Amino acid sequence: MTNHAAEPRDRPGDQLREWRRHLHRYPELPFEEHGTAAFLVETLKASGVTDIATGIGGTGVVATLRCGDGPGVIGLRADMDCLPLHEVGSHDHVSRNPGAMHACGHDGHMTMVLGAAAALASGAGFDGTVRFVFQPAEEPGRGAQAMIDDGLFERFPLDAIYGLHNAPGLPVGHFSTRSGPILGSEDNFEIRIIGRGGHSSMPDRVVDPLVIAAEIVTALQTVVGRNVPSSEPAVLSCTELITDGSRNAIPTHVVVRGDTRSYSADVSELLERRIRALAEGIARSHGATCDVTYTHEFQPTVNEAACVEAAARAASSVFADVDAQCERRMGSEDFGVFARTVPGCFAFIGNGVEPGLGGSPLHSSEYDFNDDILELGVRYYVTLVRSVLRQPSSST
């Protein structure tokens, strides 16, 4: 990734677009964001932010900006990594790295935090300390914990942390968040069934794991509806079915994969317990064996009420439509790991509704971040910092 950090332009929107499109051209996969980190460091320095630490959790970057002697410390977090996708697009900032693409808008998230850093470095207007936290490996849900394990909060203490995510399908000018759970956990499961394969013309001589897998998949559809309390949202999805059979051979091995989503540890544990019991019981009843692996990939993202209040107050002076009681979503975000350690607020801003104008879905090969929302994100972050770290009133 070539560094093209630039001095701030006369028109901030033009500079933001240049930064964002450069980051989009050179996406990097989780824990491989070396060029991205170098670009962030050079751009921060050019913007007047010089207290910068690198290599946090592998490739993470933390920059610190102080103004006055206020004791408050808040963090603005952006994610750095991309997805292993081939981009489909004709725009001039299409990915130059084959098989890698910013299909979730992390290029825009970084740019908004860079823009806030530049604006605050040049205009100050706050009393305290701001840390700009650039996190690697959000997509696999490993980067936040890697930074914490590397001493993030001991080395760079925070009173609170804030993050944004673009939301295709929501109109530009829309801001949404909520107190309490806003995004779910993600747990993955893999059910490995071992039967006895054979010729498809003699099914009476085999223990057919494909039939067993079908019965398990059907049975799993009852887990949420007949086990999880109706007051607790949860999702269970089977997403892959893999066999070693062929057109005329009944398989010996079948793997069923899927994931679950929930908002509480109790529900997560219940889902795991029921998946194991059903899969093992059904396999045993057919004379097969079964092994279940269940892993916890993402923690739920839970917002602190006081942080949500501060975020909504700042957003109300920037966005046309602010919803501080939005519906919960079952998607997952690595920000949830940070928010378990320090109070936090995660929010969404509208990316647009029309395909090609911000409305293409996240994680699709046609997705592109809507540059028209960059300045809104910067203004929100700057307003948030200045309102949370308010300068003392001058005496008359």
Binding site for Mn(2+): residue ranges? Answer: 104, 106, 139, 165, 363
Q: Are strands 174-176 and 321-323 parallel, antiparallel or unpaired?
A: parallel
Task: Record the tokens describing residue 300, joined without a space.
Answer: 């739920």
Q: Residue positions in the annotated binding site?
A: 104, 106, 139, 165, 363
Those residues whose C-beta lies under 8 Å from the C-beta of residue 212, and which sit 6 or more positions away, are: 193, 195, 254, 282, 283, 286, 288, 290
Q: Report yes or no: 249 and 276 within 8 Å, Cβ to Cβ.
A: no
- Round to whole Å and give the CA distance between 274 and 298: 20
∠ CA(346), CA(71), CA(158), 5° rounding? 35
Q: Report yes or no: 268 and 221 within 8 Å, Cβ to Cβ.
A: no
DSSP 102: -
Residues catalogued as catalytic: 81, 138
- Round to whole Å and give the CA distance between 338 and 147: 9
DSSP 362: T
Tokens 């994680």 found at: 363
Rg of the Cα trace of the chain? 24
Amino acid occupying residue 317 = S
For residue 109, CA distances in Å to 3, 190, 226, 270, 291 come to 18, 33, 40, 35, 40
